[in-house]
Chain A
C-alpha cells in the first residue's frame, strides 16, 4: 500500500517540466563550472516553486556573494544579488516591508556560515518567514578554492595546504539551535527527494533552512583527489548520507559518519511578521500621543 503511494508520487514528479517558464533565458549561459551541482539544485527548486502555486511576482529571491549567489540572476522573479554574507539582512528588510512576498534566499556555506554567520543565527532566532537554501560544497569556489566553515577537517584547499585543521560546522544543527522552525538536508544527487523537501520548505511559515550538499569538482575535487564530478557526488552525496527516517531504524554503527537527509526538524512557532502585526495592535491600543 505504502509502496504503491510512493510509486504514484514518483510518477507524478517525473512529468516533463518546462523550466523556461522561470528562467531568464537571455542571461544564459550561466557561470557555473562543468560538474557543479548548482544547476541541478536550481532545477529542483524551480519544480518545487511551480508546485507551491506562487506567482513569479510573489517571489523575491535574494542572495549574497559566491557561486550559489549568482542564482537570482537567472530566474524571472524579483531578484537581488547583495553583499557577501548579508543576503538574510537584505531579505529581512524586504520581507518586513512587504510581508506578502515569499522570500527565497540562495546562499553558500561561506556566505551563510562564515561572513554571514551572525545574520544566519539571528534570522533563525526571529523565525521570519523565508526559505534559505544553503548550497554547501565545502569550499569558496568563486575565489578559487579556499576552505570554508563546512570543509571537513583534514581537507586540502588553497589556504589549507597542509590539511584543514579547523573542525566544520553542522549547518542543520546550527540552524536548529538558533531557532529555525524548519530544518532539512538534501543533496544535488537526490534530485526528486530534494524537490519534495523544498516543496515543504517553501510551504513552511517561518524560517526554513535547507542545507544542500553539493559538489565543487573544480576547486574541492581536484585538491582532494576525487577522480570526477560524478565520483564526488556518489561518494559525498550518495554514500556519505542516509535518509533520517532510515537511520532511525539502523544500529548506530551503520549510521556513523553519515549525514542525515530529509526533514530533520519541524516545529510551529509564531512568525516574526505576524508577531509584528500583534505589536501594531498593541501600539494602536495605547493610542497616538
Chain B
C-alpha cells in the first residue's frame, strides 16, 4: 500500500513559487511589492538550491525585461507583482507577446486605482491583463481560486507559455495569495510539464518567426542559432520590416496562435450547472463565496449553479453559452466596479446579467450573492 502523501500547510504565494519550480522555472527577476512579495522571497531562497537564478532588479520594468532576456537564453522564467507593478510591466509584456518569448507574470491583485489599498484584495486588473499593453496582441490569463490550484495553475501557465511561445498571466487576488490551506505537492511526473520546442534545422535555415507555422520553434541564445529579436514588426527571420503584407500577417499570426488553440487553453469548473436556472459566473476568491451561495440556494430549492473559469483570457465564451442554456439569468460577482460582467453580457445576449461589485477592500460574501440568487426563486 502506497503511503498517503503528507499534506503541507501552505500560503497561496508559496504554492505559486513551488508550482513554478515544479514546472521547471529556473529564473526569477522581481521587485518587492505587496501582496506578492512572498513569491520573490521564497524564490530567493529556493532557486539557488536547485541551480536556478534569482535577481532582485531595480524596478518592475527591469524585472520583466530580465525575465524575457533569461527566457531567450533558454531558462523558464517568471516574475511576480501586484497592481501598480503590473501597470509598469505592460510595455515589457507587449514586447514578450511581440517577440514571442515564453514567460509567466503573476499579478496578485490588490485594491486600486493607483497605489490604492496595498493590503486589500481586488479583482480590478482583469481588463488590464487583457488590454493593458498597446497594440493587438494575444493574452492568456489564469484565475486560480484555491492554494492547491495555484500550484497546478502555475504549472499550467508555464506549459501554455512554453507551448505557444507567449507570456501567460496568473491573476489571483490577495485573499487567495495570503490564505493558508493544506496542499499536496505532486510527485515529479504526476503533472504534465511542457518544454518549448527547439529548432532542429541547420542554423542558416532557421526562421524564428516563420509565418507558415502556428508556433515556430525557439532557439536559445548561445547555441549556434544566431538569430535576431526585436519588438518592431518583423519578417519571418526576425528582422524589422515596413512591408504592409508582412506586418499584417505577422500580427494576425500572433492572435491566431492563441485563438486557434483556445480549446486546449480553456479550463473551467462547474458546480450544479446541469439544471441551473441561475448561473453565477465567478473567479478567484469570489468563486469560493459563490460556491457557498449556490449550495445555500440549493438547500432552499433554488436551481442555482456556478461557472468558474480557470482561464479568464481567452474568455470562455463557448462553455459559458453552454452553461447558461437553461438559465434565466447570470450573476457576476467581482471585486471591481464591473469588468468581466461586460464580457459575460456580450456573450449572453438577451439574458438578464446582474453584477455584484465591491471595491471597499472586503471580500464579496456568500450572503450578498445569495440575495441576488433569491430574486430568481
Contact = CB atoms under 8 A, between A and B. Distances in A.
A103 to B, nearest CB: 9
Contacts of B63: 89
Q: Tell me which of B62, B68, B72, B232 has the highest count of chain A C-beta atoms within 10 A of its own C-beta.
A: B62
A69 B97 CA distance: 21
B222 A100 contact: yes
Interface residues of A, number: 41
Contact of A90 (B59, B66, B223, B240): B66
Contacts of A78: 221-222, 226-227
Contact of B222 (A57, A82, A89): A57
Contact of A97 (B57, B58, B69, B226): B69
Contacts of B27: 93, 96-97
A94 interface: yes
Nearest to A123: B58
A32 to B, nearest CB: 14
B91 interface: yes
A280 B239 CA distance: 38
Given A60-B222, A78-B221, A80-B229, A89 B66 contact: yes
A82 B221 CA distance: 15
Nearest to B232: A81
Contacts of A280: 48, 51
A83 B222 contact: no
A14 to B, nearest CB: 29
B14 to A, nearest CB: 12
A60 B221 contact: yes
B51, B55, B222, B240, most chain A CB atoms within 10 A: B222
Interface stretch (B73-81, B168-176, B269-277, B284-292): B73-81
A96 B55 contact: yes
Contacts of B72: 80, 93-94
A82 B240 CA distance: 12
A89 B226 contact: no
Contacts of B95: 82-83
B66 A92 contact: yes
A89 B65 contact: yes
> Which residue of A57, A81, A279 has the most chain B CB atoms within 10 A of its CB atom?
A81
Nearest to A94: B69
A84 to B, nearest CB: 9
Contacts of A279: 48
A92 B227 contact: no
Contacts of A90: 65-66, 68-69
B260 to A, nearest CB: 28
B224 interface: yes
Given A57-B224, A62-B69, A98-B222, A122 B48 contact: no
B67 A93 contact: yes
A221 to B, nearest CB: 26
Contacts of A81: 228-232, 240
Contact of A283 (B49, B61, B230): B49
B231 A83 contact: yes
A98 B68 CA distance: 13
B92 interface: yes
A43 to B, nearest CB: 20
B70 interface: yes
A222 interface: no
A94 B70 contact: yes
Given A60-B221, A119-B58, A93 B226 contact: no
Interface string A166-177: 000000000000
B262 interface: no
B62 A97 contact: no
B227 A288 contact: no
Report which residue of A101, A119, A288, A289 has the largest number of chain B beta carbons within 10 angstroms of its beta carbon.
A119
Nearest to A56: B226
A178 B62 CA distance: 17
A226 interface: no
Identify the interface centre among B73, B95, B227, B231: most chain A CB within 10 Å of its CB: B73
Interface in A46-93: 56-58, 60, 62, 72-73, 76-83, 86, 88-93
Contacts of B227: 78-79
Interface in B204-238: 220-224, 226-232
A101 B69 contact: no
28 contacts: A57-B222, A62-B69, A73-B230, A78-B222, A78-B226, A79-B229, A80-B230, A82-B231, A86-B65, A86-B92, A89-B57, A89-B61, A89-B69, A90-B65, A90-B66, A90-B68, A93-B66, A93-B71, A93-B73, A94-B73, A96-B27, A97-B69, A97-B77, A101-B222, A119-B58, A282-B48, A284-B48, A288-B49
Interface of B: 27, 29, 45, 48-49, 51, 53, 55, 57-59, 61-63, 65-75, 77, 91-92, 95, 220-224, 226-232, 239-240
Interface of A: 27, 56-58, 60, 62, 72-73, 76-83, 86, 88-98, 100-101, 118-119, 122, 276, 279-280, 282-284, 288-289
Given A80-B228, A86-B62, 14 more contacts: A57-B226, A78-B222, A80-B229, A90-B65, A93-B68, A94-B73, A96-B70, A97-B27, A97-B75, A118-B59, A119-B58, A280-B48, A284-B49, A288-B49
